[in-house]
Amino acid sequence: MYDASINTIHRMVYSNGGLALPPLSFAAPPAPRFAGWPRAAKRLQDVILAAVLLMICAVPLLIFALLIRIESAGPVLFRQRRIGLDGSNFTIWKLRTMRTLPGRTRPGRTFPGRTPPGLTQAGLTQPGAAQPGLAWPGRTQLRRVPPAQHDAMCQARRGDPRITRIGAWLRSRSLDELPQLVNVLCGEMSLVGPRPHAPGTCAGGRPFELVSPRYAARHGVRPGITGLAQVRGWRGETETEDKLLHRVECDLEYIATWSLWLDLVILARTVTAVLHMRNAY
């Protein structure tokens, strides 16, 4: 009852262009279910399953890598900074699904009407400028964006012309996420958990941290390749604040109710969700 009331208030205050309030800064609350032996058991489960899946997927990954190189020039793997456990940054790995341009890791494109004046689509200020006064505990403060990187972080959209043919096929089945099994083995990610976001990513033109004051709480656990929000259909582009709020609610529910059995159920449902996926692009 309490959580439902809080969620309603958050939507009234922080979404749909409602009352503008200053951001709330707070440290992520502890996650007791992920301490001690439960944390060790979850880590052991991650290592065993990730190692088995990597061995099974080794040959398909080599085939995907070859097809990516045949279709377009550039690296096979795409890497990007994401926010991980306790707000620390790490490098996430994916199969490259977009074309590259000279001098860029991935091509950029401006989508009119998506970003308010003075902000890039990643929620940062225009190239060469800094956005002062916005900092959150455990997070990297917004930094200056070199012009060459200005367009590099905009999210993929449906019908995005940057996506290659093999890339579209991989994304529709979430196979581009397979290299993240290495992130799991390195201890940067878990098989199941809140999806990691790039620093400064926006929903409805505002950084995620300003949309929900509870956003930082999801960093109390390792981010996951899949999660409760994803199997409930909340995946893809977060172009609206309401979509982000639904994802945050699912992530906090997962943290509050976690168990090894829940992880296995989410993994099984992920396979079903991928087979019937409609909002992947």
44-74 pLDDT tens trace: 999 999 999 999 999 999 999 999 999 988 9
The residue to which tokens 């579209």 are assigned? 168
Of 44, 61, 104, 18, the residue nearest 260 (C-alpha): 44
More confident residue, 3 or 157: 157
Asked if pLDDT for residue 31 goes beyond 50, the answer is yes
For residue 262, what are the CA distances in angstroms to 195, 209, 227?
Answer: 16, 27, 10
Radius of gyration (C-alpha) of the chain in whole angstroms: 19
Asked if pLDDT for residue 175 goes beyond 60, the answer is yes
Q: According to the model, what pLDDT value does residue 7 have? A: 53
Question: What single-letter DSSP state applies at residue 98?
Answer: B
Calculate what percentage of the chain has a pLDDT beyond 90: 49
Q: Is residue 197 part of a domain?
A: yes
Q: Is residue 32 part of a domain?
A: no
Q: Is residue 15 part of a domain?
A: no
Q: Is residue 5 part of a domain?
A: no
Concatenating the DSSP letter of every residue in 189-237 gives -EEESPPP--TT-EETTEEHHHH-TTGGGGGGS--EEE-HHHHTT--S-
Q: Is residue 59 part of a domain?
A: yes
Query: What is the extent of the structural domain holding 198?
Result: 39-108+116-275
Mean pLDDT over 202-224 rounds to: 91
Q: According to the model, what pLDDT value does residue 138 have? A: 43
Q: Is residue 28 part of a domain?
A: no
Cβ atoms < 10 Å from Cβ of 79: 13
Mean pLDDT of the chain: 76
As for how many domains the chain has, the answer is 1
Length of the chain: 281
pLDDT in tens, 101-158: 654 444 333 333 333 334 333 333 333 433 433 333 444 343 443 433 333 345 666 6
| Cα 163 from Cα 221, distance rounded (Å) | 31
Q: According to the model, what pLDDT value does residue 16 have? A: 45
Q: According to the model, what pLDDT value does residue 112 have? A: 38
| Cα 60 from Cα 78, distance rounded (Å) | 17
More confident residue, 86 or 32: 86
Q: Nearest 10 degrees: CA dihedral of 179, 185, 188, 189?
A: 70
Of 183, 134, 126, the residue nearest 25 (C-alpha): 134
More confident residue, 122 or 231: 231
Amino acid identity, position 12: M
Helix/strand/coil for 275 = helix
pLDDT band at 187 (very low <50, low <70, confident <90, very high): very high
H/E element holding 82? strand 77-83
pTM comes to 0.70
List Cβ neighbours of 106 (8 Å cut-off, separation of 6 or more). Answer: 78, 96, 98, 99, 100, 152, 162
Phi/psi region, residue 103 (left: phi>0; alpha: psi -120 to 50; beta: rest), is left
Q: According to the model, what pLDDT value does residue 218 have? A: 93
End-to-end CA distance of the chain: 36
Mean pLDDT over 36-43 rounds to: 90
Q: Is residue 256 part of a domain?
A: yes
Pairing of strands 224-226, 202-203: unpaired
